[in-house]
Amino acid sequence: MGSFRTVSFFNNSFGCTVLLLLLTLASCGVSRKAKVRQKKINTVISTARTYTGVPYKYGGTTKKGMDCSGLLFTSYKTIDMSVPRSTVEQKKFGKKVKKKKVKEGDWLFFAMSKKRRKITHVGLVTQVNSKVEVKFIHASSSRGVIEDNLYKAYYKKRLRKARRPF
């Protein structure tokens, strides 16, 4: 009978080189994808910030007047991403994110009515500095388009969910 000899692929320099090459290529792909995502998010945030100071207008999507869901809708158009126009539809878009895990570009949903169950407002995370400061931009019905801190008592108690659009 002949003898059977097993050779481990990774016990030779060729196998190790191939493994190292595959790991490097995989990490480059992830890194490249993350950079593209971050560039898109930066564009969306920059666009949203150009509306700072614009007065609130229900159904608005221009510099003459903007509402909260319109701000997201308009800002995401700059990266050729089609998002729903209404808060009702936006709250179903993308994937769920734990409130403690939000990142720039994520959407925050609030219940602003007296009953505080129905989601009626949305904002875009613009900056995450720590567990006590998460800035977001939104169209406030009383102050127009502004950036606020999620951890202000007013917003913190009204936050209902967060989603990541992509």
> What was the pLDDT predicted at 1?
53
Dihedral sign of CA atoms 97, 165, 159, 45 in order: positive
Q: Which pLDDT tens digit goes with each residue over 12-24?
A: 565 555 555 555 5
CB atoms within 10 A of CB 98: 8
Please count the residues of the chain.
166
Between helices 68-77 and 13-49, what is the axis angle to 10°? 130
> What was the pLDDT predicted at 26?
52
Helix (H) or strand (E) run with residue 123 in it = strand 121-130
* Distance of alpha carbon 149 from alpha carbon 121, whole angstroms: 15
Residues in the chain predicted with pLDDT less than 50, given as ranges, are 4-10
Residues marked as catalytic: 68, 121, 138
For residue 141 the two structure tokens come to 């019905």
> What was the pLDDT predicted at 131?
78
Global confidence as pTM: 0.81
> What was the pLDDT predicted at 6?
47
> What was the pLDDT predicted at 31?
86
CA 123 to chain centre: 10
Q: Which domains does the chain have, with CATH numbers?
A: 36-164 (3.90.1720.10)
